[in-house]
């Protein structure tokens, strides 16, 4: 299969289903993969894009069973395992979504699925958002009795997995870099002893008026992961890149990058934003709509 590839800055945005696109990428080249997967039952991206164009006012949810969704994710993260270098990392931002009105333990099932397909679990980071967008906790205010506790949801998970590797591969990917490479990739530890040294990170979520995508993660989240798990010139990949927050952070950090995305509209948006970065122009969100 041939896919449309859009070179931009240090990277390429490739249009297609990541399952098929991953098959065309070479084995063992990606040092870091970072993504947040689509919640197939919650957001219908085809219809969201039509809404952006004013062709509809709202989108309808898609009928996808939780089992089908699990298979969708397993197939794609298995294909990802092939292209990541032994010892390289796969970092995934995920949260417990609702399915048929029930809150699911998706992140915890997800860890199981990743282990089944061959990823090694390494870290669980909690991304804490200082603002709650839902009013769940209000139920207890109305009914101050046991059994009415529904905390407002302000956290998502960021799980770190690693591709199993021989000792030698592990050493080569991070530890046996040249002194010059290490010097050029020194991590700024000035504010490390605050929250960054712990596994709860407080980062402001993206406001709806800041990005055309319905659920982007903050560039700062991608930025931290990229600094912590890759060196300059390493290849960073996002298999569900959406508005390209990973690509933008990778571009700024001097990494090579690939983003895979199905929707033309989001791809155009990524390209405009990265070109604006390169030309040091202020990016106008309104112009991009
Ligand atoms: C949760 S969003 C990612 C948002 C992204 N992290 C950002 O910050 O903008 C998931 C994205 O995956 C895309 N997508 C859905 N199915 C896909 C597939 N099979 N292959 C590649 N991309 C897909 C959707 O269009 C959507 O933009």
Full DSSP string of 86-126: EEEEEEEEE---EETTEE--HHHHHHHHHHHHTPEEEEEEE
Q: How far is the CA of 215 from the centre of ligand 1 (A)?
A: 9
The confidence band for 1, taking pLDDT boundaries of 50, 70 and 90, is confident
Lowest mean pLDDT among 9-13, 50-54, 270-274: 50-54
Q: How many CA atoms lie within 13 Å of 34's alpha carbon, on the beta-carbon side? A: 28
The confidence band for 256, taking pLDDT boundaries of 50, 70 and 90, is very high
Cβ-in-10-Å burial (0-12, 13-18, 19+) of 252 comes to: middle
**What is the Cα 90 distance to its own chain's centre?**
10
The reply to whether the predicted model has a pTM over 0.85 is yes
Distance separating alpha carbons of residues 103 and 105, to the nearest angstrom: 7
Q: How far is the CA of 277 from the centre of ligand 1 (A)?
A: 22
Mutate to test the pocket of ligand 1, among 19, 74, 261, 274 (most ligand atoms within 8 A of CB): 261
- Is 215 touching ligand 1 by the criterion CB < 6 Å? yes
Q: How many CA atoms lie within 13 Å of 18's alpha carbon, on the beta-carbon side? A: 28
Mutate to test the pocket of ligand 1, among 75, 203, 262, 267 (most ligand atoms within 8 A of CB): 262
> Residues of the chain with pLDDT > 90: what percent?
80
88 near 32, Cβ under 8 Å? yes
Q: How far is the CA of 276 from the centre of ligand 1 (A)?
A: 22
Q: How many domains does the chain have?
A: 1
What range does the domain containing 185 cover? Answer: 4-288
Q: How far is the CA of 171 from the centre of ligand 1 (A)?
A: 32
Mean pLDDT to the nearest integer, 79-108: 96
The confidence band for 288, taking pLDDT boundaries of 50, 70 and 90, is low
CATH of the domain at 133: 3.40.50.150
Which alpha helices (H) appear in 27-65, and where do they start and end?
45-52
Q: How many CB atoms lie within 10 A of CB 181?
A: 12
* DSSP label of 58: S
- Is 20 touching ligand 1 by the criterion CB < 6 Å? no
Mutate to test the pocket of ligand 1, among 4, 38, 51 (most ligand atoms within 8 A of CB): 38
Is the pLDDT at 62 greater than 60, yes or no? Answer: yes
Is the pLDDT at 223 greater than 90, yes or no? Answer: yes
Lowest mean pLDDT among 25-39, 67-81, 120-134, 243-257: 120-134
């Amino acid at each position: 299969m041939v896919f449309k590839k859009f070179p931009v800055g240090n990277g390429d945005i490739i249009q297609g289903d990541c399952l098929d696109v991953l098959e065309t990428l070479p084995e063992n080249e990606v040092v870091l993969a970072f993504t947040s997967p689509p919640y197939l039952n919650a957001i219908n991206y085809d219809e969201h894009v039509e809404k952006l164009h004013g062709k509809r006012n709202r989108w309808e949810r898609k009928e996808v069973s939780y089992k089908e969704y699990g298979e969708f994710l397993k197939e794609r993260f298995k294909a990802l395992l092939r292209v990541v270098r032994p010892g390289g990392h796969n970092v995934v931002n995920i949260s417990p979504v609702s399915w048929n009105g029930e809150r699911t333990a998706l992140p915890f099932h997800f860890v199981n699925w990743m282990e089944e397909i061959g990823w090694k679990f390494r870290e669980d980071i909690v991304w804490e958002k200082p603002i709650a967008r839902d009013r769940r906790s209000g139920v207890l205010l109305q009914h101050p009795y046991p059994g009415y506790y529904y905390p407002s949801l302000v956290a998502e998970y960021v799980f770190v997995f690693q591709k199993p590797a021989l000792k030698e591969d592990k050493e080569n990917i991070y530890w046996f870099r040249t002194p010059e490479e290490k010097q050029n990739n020194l991590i700024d530890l000035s504010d490390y002893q605050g929250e960054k040294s712990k596994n709860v990170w407080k980062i402001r979520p993206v406001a709806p008026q800041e990005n055309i995508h319905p659920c982007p993660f903050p560039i700062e989240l991608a930025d931290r992961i990229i600094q912590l798990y890759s060196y300059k010139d390493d290849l960073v990949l996002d298999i569900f890149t959406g508005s390209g927050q990973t690509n933008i952070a990778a571009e700024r950090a001097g990494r090579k990058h690939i983003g895979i995305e199905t929707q033309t509209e989001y791809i155009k948006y990524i390209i405009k934003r990265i070109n604006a970065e390169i030309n040091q122009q202020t990016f106008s969100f309104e112009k991009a709509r």
